[in-house]
């Protein structure tokens, strides 16, 4: 049995903190991060835009803090588990030796995204230990509530003077591990767009042909949107198993909640249908919202756009020099077969882009089954360890760009 190294022990300690919704233990998490900062020799700030929702920032000062800084962002919260479905307890972070000799770390958050926060911490630890100087300030941002829309997290924090004071010039953010030897990076993402349609109609006895019912109003909407889902899926189906890389190019629609009715023999007065749309940056967001409003009106329903987004800026890397050159230099040094794709899900990078800062989501882990939000989430230890020098180089190259 290979000895557990200190970076793995610290990663496991981070995973053991139950920052799980609906009641994430942010206090213990902040204590852990501050202990890291003290050991490593980093400055720290804590911003609670909303009480109990800390954004923790750990900083390695550069030799010229007047230059634009570089940000390395990650979230500290994790999604809930169905514990009975796990082979290993999700908050023990067990280190398990596999038949191929590899070690895996099983825990909720191991992929999404404490592995990234841990790689940032270990990378900066190495930089400080070796006393390597860098020009720009490096800020590690640990944000809360990303998994629940970041309303009390980066969404609000990125609008504060404290965020502006960080003077960010470039942001490295959440990515996804790849299932092969390629590394994907994201300069844009689909807008997360939860929408609820409500139909109201006549009620009465379940034995009668009541007219103008809620069901008759909601169903055309549901049917049209499920058809839209199919049409958009058909556009990317030809990619076969690689379709997953092209999801961001189209808008997805999933009926995620449907409710109405109290008893079988009472015609319901209302029906509610909630869709999780992810709106591709390839279409006009405003036009899509108008389409949903028209669809509701045409069917005599009301519609609530639950998280109106305003804008969905895309990072144009050709306009993000000198950082872009440094970013690609590091990918090359680490022999990354890099591909730019559209992030199909939502990350906190959207708020940083909205603040006018170029942001790139990336995850250097290769050969992983994507297990974010799934049972038995794990990472392969050797890939985590390989990611540390990757981020070390990324920090130094960007901070000296
Ligand atoms: C919508 S806010 C929640 C964020 C979450 N992000 C990821 C990467 O899983 C999502 O896209 O559902
Ligand atoms: Zn995440
Ligand atoms: Zn997530």
Q: For 195-207, how does the pLDDT look when each residue is reduced to its tens digit (9 = 90+)?
A: 999 999 999 999 9
Does residue 20 sit in the same domain as residue 122?
Answer: yes
Tell me which residues have their CB within 5 A of the ion that is ligand 2: 112-113
Shared domain for 353 and 214, answered yes or no, is no
CB of 346 within 6 A of ligand 1: the answer is yes
Judgement on whether residues 74 and 133 belong to the same structural domain of the protein: yes
Pocket probe for ligand 1: among 80, 345, 362, the residue whose CB has the most ligand atoms within 8 Å is: 345
Structure tokens at 322: 């000198």
**Closest atom of ligand 1 to CA, residue 150:** 2
Tell me the C-alpha distance between 45 and 42, whole Å: 10
273 lines ligand 1 (CB under 6 A): no
Q: Which ligand is nearest to the CA of 377?
A: 3
Counting every residue, how long is the chain? 401
Ligand 2 centroid – CA 112 distance (Å):
5
- What DSSP element (H or E) covers 71? strand 69-75
Degrees to nearest 5, angle at CA 308 with 303 and 313: 140
318 and 287 fall within a common domain: no
Query: Does 1 reside within a domain?
Result: no
Of 213, 188, 183, nearest to 200 by C-alpha is 213
Pair (319, 289) in one structural domain: no
> Is 358 found in the same domain as 329?
yes
Query: Does 146 participate in catalysis according to the annotation?
Result: yes
Q: Which of 177, 194, 347, 350 to mutate to test the pocket of ligand 1 (most atoms within 8 A of CB)?
A: 347
Ligand 1 atom with the shortest distance to the CA of 343? 8
Question: Residue 176 CA: which ligand 1 atom is closest?
Answer: 8
The dihedral region occupied by 133, where left means phi > 0, alpha psi between -120 and 50, and beta the remainder, is: beta
Q: Is residue 158 part of a domain?
A: yes
Last residue of a domain, one of 305, 321, 351: 305
Full residue range of the structural domain in which residue 275 is found: 192-305
77 among known catalytic residues:
yes
- Which residue's C-alpha comes closest to atom 9 of ligand 1? 345
Same domain, 106 and 149: yes
Same domain, 63 and 144: yes
Same domain, 228 and 112: no
> How many Å is the maximal CA-CA distance in the chain?
81
- Classify residue 54 by burial, with Cβ atoms within 10 Å: 0-12, 13-18, 19+: buried
* Digit-coded pLDDT (tens) for 233-270: 999 999 998 999 999 999 999 999 999 999 999 999 99
Are 173 and 134 found together in one domain? Answer: yes
What is the DSSP code string of 221-268?
A: HHHHHHHHHHHHHHHHGGGGGGGGGGGGGS-EEEEEEEEE-SSTTEE-
Which of 346, 350, 361, 374 has the most ligand 1 atoms within 8 A of CB, as the residue to mutate? 346
Both 106 and 198 in one domain: the answer is no
Number of separate domains in the chain:
2
CATH of the domain at 201: 3.30.70.360
Q: Which pLDDT score is estimated for 311?
A: 83
Positions in the chain short of pLDDT 50? none
Residue-wise pLDDT for 314-344, tens only, equals 999 999 999 999 999 999 999 999 999 999 9
Asked, for residue 371, whether it belongs to a domain, the answer is yes
> Which residues participate in the annotated binding site for Zn(2+)?
75, 112, 147, 174, 373
Q: Which residues contact 3 (CB under 8 A, 6 or more apart)?
A: none
How much is the pLDDT for 310?
Answer: 80
Any ligand 1 atom below 6 A from CB of 42: no
Assign residue 119 the CATH number of its domain: 3.40.630.10
Q: Is residue 198 part of a domain?
A: yes
Phi-psi region of 305 (alpha: psi -120 to 50; beta: other; left: phi over 0): beta
Shared-domain flag, residues 286 and 247: yes
Pick the catalytic residue: 137, 146, 189, 397? 146
For residue 236, the tally of other CB atoms under 10 A from its CB is 18
Q: Dihedral of CA 133/393/386/108: which sign?
A: positive
């Amino acid at each position: 049995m290979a000895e557990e190294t200190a970076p793995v022990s610290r990663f496991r300690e981070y995973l053991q903190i139950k920052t799980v919704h609906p009641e994430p233990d942010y206090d213990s998490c902040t204590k852990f991060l501050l202990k890291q900062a003290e050991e490593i020799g980093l400055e720290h700030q804590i911003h609670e835009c909303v009480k109990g929702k800390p954004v923790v920032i750990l900083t390695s000062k550069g030799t010229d803090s007047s230059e634009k800084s570089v940000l390395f962002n990650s979230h500290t919260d994790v999604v809930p588990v169905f514990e009975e479905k796990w082979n290993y307890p999700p908050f023990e972070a067990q280190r398990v030796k596999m038949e191929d000799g590899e070690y895996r770390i099983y825990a909720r958050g191991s992929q999404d995204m404490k592995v990234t926060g841990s790689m940032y911490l270990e990378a900066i630890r190495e930089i400080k230990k070796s006393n390597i100087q860098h020009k720009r300030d490096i800020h590690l941002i640990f944000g809360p509530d990303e998994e629940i829309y970041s309303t009390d997290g980066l969404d609000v924090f990125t609008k504060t003077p404290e965020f502006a004071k960080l003077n960010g010039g470039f942001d490295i953010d959440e990515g996804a591990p790849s299932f092969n030897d390629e590394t994907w990076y994201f300069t844009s993402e689909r807008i997360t767009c939860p929408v609820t349609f409500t139909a109201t109609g006549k009620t009465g006895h379940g034995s009668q042909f009541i007219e103008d019912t809620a069901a008759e109003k909601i169903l055309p909407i549901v049917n049209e949107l499920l058809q839209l889902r199919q049409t958009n899926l058909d556009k990317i189906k030809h990619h076969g198993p690689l379709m997953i890389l092209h999801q961001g190019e189209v808008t997805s629609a999933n009926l995620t909640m449907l409710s109405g009715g109290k008893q079988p023999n009472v015609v319901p007065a209302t029906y509610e249908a909630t869709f999780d749309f992810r709106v591709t940056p390839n279409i006009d967001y405003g036009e899509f919202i108008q389409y949903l409003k028209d669809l509701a009106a045409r069917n005599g329903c009301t519609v609530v756009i639950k998280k109106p987004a305003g804008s969905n800026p895309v990072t144009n890397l050709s306009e993000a020099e000198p950082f872009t050159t440094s970013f690609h230099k590091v990918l090359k040094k680490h022999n990354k077969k890099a591909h730019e794709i559209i992030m199909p899900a939502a990350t906190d990078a959207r708020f940083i882009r909205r603040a006018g800062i170029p942001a790139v989501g990336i995850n250097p882990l290769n050969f992983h089954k994507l297990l974010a939000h799934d049972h038995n989430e794990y990472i392969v230890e050797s890939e985590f360890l390989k990611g540390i020098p990757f981020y070390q180089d990324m920090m130094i190259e960007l901070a000296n760009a």
